[in-house]
Structure 1
């Protein structure tokens, strides 16, 4: 692809690690237990859960969404033919089908279908000005605050219903995921449907905000010349770091039930605002630090590792889900609800490294990853060469 920027692929490879760390708990135990008051029984497991909450949760779908917007703008710029519209929406439709299958057969927290639905709107933003995109991005974050406030105010009713039905729900979940292939798929479909309100109200406004920000960054070639970009990022970094650390500390204390379980309405509003803005702030800090590292001599040995995974990000994302499903479901190794949060966090590293090695081997032989090949062949409505 023309105009491909190595640092964008580098960030995608890094994002795959963070996404895996966030997703693994949802593979390993009933979704009702993740981040619940009774999730952990040891201090080590609690520490593992706190690490995921502070450093990973909400940060990496933000980063991936930003990169999605950035990448789609580049694709639109590289495809100005008369049939580019049909290609774009074929790609969106193909991505949606992959997301639907992913949610049924592999992972309840699929993001691809959401990307396809929201990504369809990006076509209509391709000619908008930079200032317009920035304003829309900020507006979507404001919408995200109100959505999270609404969810927070309504969670009392949800919790009371959940507590009444929790023993039955946990038993059904354990039995299904430790059962056969079809039993786990039926349960996963049910869980995926139940998670839709969370995806729509908690994630969608932020996702679309990051899409717009990614469009803005690509439109202004933010990452084409790091030396030009670096001074502006350096000015923002201290403020983003303060907001990121303080906001994510509050998020971790609140989400892991260290603070009061019955906060006042004022605190609920504060939590919603803090959560919405502190996650992108810390994500910005990751990008700034990685940008400095990537553009220094120290990164040369690591570039090929991260960049190769980034080029095969769709294959790696779906492949990680396949491996995790095999580890925890009854038709595989059957470790569902048997490992603590700390061990689950540690598992992130070898799984990510495994796909790093596979990516390097695969790219020595093939030009495209298998899932990238399928999606691109569908998009162009022809059999794309994979070698």
Structure 2
């Protein structure tokens, strides 16, 4: 098997921070309040919510999905031992089980189960040509536009039903998450089930698009020679930056209720198109800027931190959820629905640093993270050496 690409692990470590920023509000308060009109009561909380919307929301699951596709292609291409149907689908099944447990015991917005379901399709894409994969990525983004238009058109009916039941739903959520261990798990299971339509129609088409794009990038060795890749990226960067800034500005103004509520059909279509394409555009800008930074002398001090977190990304992702659940649930510190968006945003830093430090300490003794070891042992159907 070829050596790991350090920049890919670096990007995973960076993505873990962004994912935590987006996920943390869903740990800290009822999911019905996140990005709602009455979510914030102070200017600082509102500003924090705007920062999350503009710089983080929809950008980091896009990045992680791209890296997932890239990483899976490298595994299939460069490691003959894993390039077997039984091992591949056993790994996918194991990932799905971890995602299911994650959604029940830790976080309502689990993405691992979605990755497992959609990742099963990657096996059938492994021998497709680069042009076919790129076209598939564009087709999936087009499907994402129509899915988001459909969700937007159905939004009025959904909002009316939610408003009628909101007091009861909020009370049930607060009581359950501030209750015992099993009460919070039962409520989380209910919330996870309720979030399935959002995951399927809002995230799945974009996730599959990024899987295909990741396969395309890996097949063409995009990140093995940055100096060769950089000129092409540099040409795209100004256009992606304009689209990313303008599109995400519109997204932020709309999603945080600064623009007028209940826009007409034309504006709903415009918002859906903008949202679908501007998030990957800004994500591309992140990758380009980080690529330049990583391949410069300035990054040497930071590489080991980000790369180690990226190498243990499954452990860190689940570990972040464990800490967040402990902070906010009643069986832990019990801060559910008691902290504003501003403090929640600041809280991401110490949690992310904790798991970065954990990764460095763990790496000094073991070659695999604990969750990576479990998944790999399941994949190979034998106990893998962790030292």
Q: Deviations over 1:143-168 (max 9, x none)?
A: 00000000000000000000000000
Q: Does 1:63 align with 2:63?
A: yes
Once residues 330 and 206 of structure 2 are traced to their aligned partners in structure 1, the CA distance between those partners, rounded to angstroms, is 35
* Alignment correspondent of 2:104: 104
Q: Deviations over 1:238-294 (max 9, x none)?
A: 000000000000000000000010101000000000000000000000000000000
* Alignment correspondent of 2:191: 191
* Alignment correspondent of 1:41: 41
* Alignment correspondent of 2:142: 142
Which range moves more in the overlay, 79-88 or 271-280? 79-88
Matched-pair contact (CA < 8 Å) for 1:3–1:74: no
* Alignment correspondent of 2:277: 277
Once residues 81 and 177 of structure 1 are traced to their aligned partners in structure 2, the CA distance between those partners, rounded to angstroms, is 44
* Alignment correspondent of 1:356: 356
Once residues 83 and 74 of structure 2 are traced to their aligned partners in structure 1, the CA distance between those partners, rounded to angstroms, is 16
The structure 1 segments of at least 4 consecutive aligned residues displaced by more than 4 Å after TM superposition are: none
Sort the Cα spacing of 1:241 and 1:335 in 2 relative to 1 into closer, same or farther, 3 A: same
TM-score (norm 1): 0.99
Q: Deviations over 1:62-99 (max 9, x none)?
A: 00000000000001012335971111000000000000
* Alignment correspondent of 2:292: 292
Matched-pair contact (CA < 8 Å) for 2:76–2:82: no
* Alignment correspondent of 1:213: 213
Q: Deviations over 1:286-340 (max 9, x none)?
A: 0000000000000000000000000000000000000000000000000000000
Q: Which secondary structure does the structure 1 equivalent of 2:20 belong to?
A: helix
Q: Which secondary structure does the structure 1 equivalent of 2:364 belong to?
A: helix
* Alignment correspondent of 2:168: 168
Once residues 156 and 81 of structure 2 are traced to their aligned partners in structure 1, the CA distance between those partners, rounded to angstroms, is 53
* Alignment correspondent of 1:255: 255
Once residues 104 and 75 of structure 2 are traced to their aligned partners in structure 1, the CA distance between those partners, rounded to angstroms, is 29
Q: Deviations over 1:32-57 (max 9, x none)?
A: 00000000000000000000000000
Q: Does 1:386 align with 2:383?
A: no
* Alignment correspondent of 2:371: 371
Matched-pair contact (CA < 8 Å) for 2:75–2:82: no
TM-score (norm 2): 0.99
Sort the Cα spacing of 1:81 and 1:339 in 2 relative to 1 into closer, same or farther, 3 A: closer
Q: Which secondary structure does the structure 1 equivalent of 2:275 belong to?
A: helix
Once residues 338 and 69 of structure 1 are traced to their aligned partners in structure 2, the CA distance between those partners, rounded to angstroms, is 38
Once residues 79 and 368 of structure 1 are traced to their aligned partners in structure 2, the CA distance between those partners, rounded to angstroms, is 17
Sort the Cα spacing of 1:251 and 1:82 in 2 relative to 1 into closer, same or farther, 3 A: closer
Q: Which secondary structure does the structure 2 equivalent of 1:365 belong to?
A: coil
Once residues 78 and 160 of structure 1 are traced to their aligned partners in structure 2, the CA distance between those partners, rounded to angstroms, is 52
Once residues 239 and 35 of structure 1 are traced to their aligned partners in structure 2, the CA distance between those partners, rounded to angstroms, is 29
Once residues 127 and 33 of structure 2 are traced to their aligned partners in structure 1, the CA distance between those partners, rounded to angstroms, is 44
* Alignment correspondent of 1:159: 159
* Alignment correspondent of 1:335: 335
Q: Which secondary structure does the structure 1 equivalent of 2:86 belong to?
A: helix
Once residues 215 and 114 of structure 2 are traced to their aligned partners in structure 1, the CA distance between those partners, rounded to angstroms, is 17
* Alignment correspondent of 1:323: 323
Using the TM superposition, give the Cα deviation of residue 101 of structure 1 relative to its aligned residue in structure 2, in angstroms.
0.1
Once residues 347 and 86 of structure 2 are traced to their aligned partners in structure 1, the CA distance between those partners, rounded to angstroms, is 41
Q: What 5-or-longer segments of structure 1 have no aligned partner?
A: none
Once residues 156 and 3 of structure 1 are traced to their aligned partners in structure 2, the CA distance between those partners, rounded to angstroms, is 51
Using the TM superposition, give the Cα deviation of residue 4 of structure 1 relative to its aligned residue in structure 2, in angstroms.
1.1
Once residues 3 and 358 of structure 2 are traced to their aligned partners in structure 1, the CA distance between those partners, rounded to angstroms, is 26
Using the TM superposition, give the Cα deviation of residue 2 of structure 1 relative to its aligned residue in structure 2, in angstroms.
2.3
Once residues 380 and 356 of structure 2 are traced to their aligned partners in structure 1, the CA distance between those partners, rounded to angstroms, is 28
Q: Does 1:231 align with 2:247?
A: no
Q: Which secondary structure does the structure 1 equivalent of 2:358 belong to?
A: helix
Once residues 79 and 303 of structure 2 are traced to their aligned partners in structure 1, the CA distance between those partners, rounded to angstroms, is 28
Matched-pair contact (CA < 8 Å) for 1:315–1:372: yes
Using the TM superposition, give the Cα deviation of residue 3 of structure 1 relative to its aligned residue in structure 2, in angstroms.
3.5
Once residues 129 and 147 of structure 1 are traced to their aligned partners in structure 2, the CA distance between those partners, rounded to angstroms, is 27
* Alignment correspondent of 1:94: 94
